[in-house]
Structure 1
Amino acid sequence: MRVTIERPTVHSDPRGIVFDPLPGNDLPAQRNVHMVLTEPGAVRGNHYHMRGTEVLAGAGPLLIRLRDGEERMELNIYAGEVIRLTIPAGVAHAIKNVGDKPSAIVSFSTEPYDSEKPDVVREVLIEA
C-alpha cells in the first residue's frame, strides 16, 4: 500500500490536544487546504484522486478504509488518537465518524480545487 500512515506527536493538557496536521516543510507543495466536519455516523470520501496527493489529519474515533489496486486496509482510530495519512493519486479512501460527536479532519492537496474539472473519481468503500 502506497499510503503513508503517521501518528503525529500529540501535546495534551486539560484543555485538549494539539498536533501538527502537516510538517512545515510540506506546506509549499500544497495547493488546497480545507477543514471537514463530519456528523456522527456520516461518511466522507468514498473516492480517489486522479492527479493530486492528499494529506488527511484528524482525531478519532474514525473508521478509515483504503484501497490501492487489489490491496485493501482498514484502520480504527480510537477516541483521543490522532492520525496523518498521505494518500497518493489512485488510492481510494473513505472515512466514517464512528463517534457520538462531530469529527474534524484537515485536508491538504497538491491539486488546486477546480469545480469545472474536479480531481475526484467516486469509489464506495464504506456504505453511508
Structure 2
Amino acid sequence: MNSMERLCDLINIDPYEDQRGMLKKIIMKSQLQDSGEVGEVYLLYSNPNSVRGNHYHKKTFEYFTIVSGKAKVALKDLSNGVREEFYLSSNDNIVLKIPPYMVHAFKNEDHQQLIILAVSSKEYSQSNPDTYVKEIL
C-alpha cells in the first residue's frame, strides 16, 4: 500500500485564521453523504499509554479529529484483512472518516493527555450497541 492509499477517507480541514485565532470546520453536511446523519458528538480524553477503540461497527460511520496531542492510529479492513498504522496530531488538520466494518484503534504514546473529537452517525444504545470488539492495537 503506498502512502496515498488509505483504508479510510482522510478529510482535509482548511482552518480559517485571523488575529483572534483559528476556526476548524470538522464536519459539513456535504461530507455525510454515506452516513446520512449525525447521531452523537463526543470528546475522548485518553491518558498516556492508553488505547481507545479496538472495535468496529456494522452500521455506524465515525469521524475523528485530534484536538490535542498525537495518536497512533491502527486500522484493519475486515473485507480484505489489510491493516494500516500511522500517526495523527492536531497539527495535521485531518478528519478520519471510518466506515462500517473497519476496525479502528487509537493509542496515546505521548506523556500528555490525548483529546479526540468524535462524530458518530448513530447514537450509542446499550441495548443495540453496534460495537464489536476486535483488538488490533
Please give the range of the TM-score, normalised by the shorter of the 2 chains: 0.7 to 0.9
The residue aligned with 1:51 is 59
Give the 5 Å matches for 1:54-69: 54-59=62-67, 60-69=69-78
By how many angstroms is 1:6 displaced? 2.6
Is residue 88 of structure 2 the alignment partner of residue 80 of structure 1? no
Decide whether the 8 Å contact of 1:2 with 1:88 is kept in 2: no
Question: How far apart in 2 are the matches of 1:15 and 1:112?
Answer: 34
Give the 5 Å matches for 1:78-117: 78=89, 80-117=91-128
By how many angstroms is 1:64 displaced? 0.2
Q: Secondary structure at the match of 1:80?
A: helix
- The match for 1:39 among 12, 29, 47 is 47
For 1:75, give the aligned amino acid. F
Q: CA RMSD in A?
A: 2.4
**Number of residue equivalences:** 126
For 2:125, give the aligned amino acid. D
Long gaps (5+) in structure 1: none
The range that moved more, 112-121 or 70-79, is 70-79
Decide whether the 8 Å contact of 1:62 with 1:98 is kept in 2: yes
TM-score using structure 1 length = 0.83
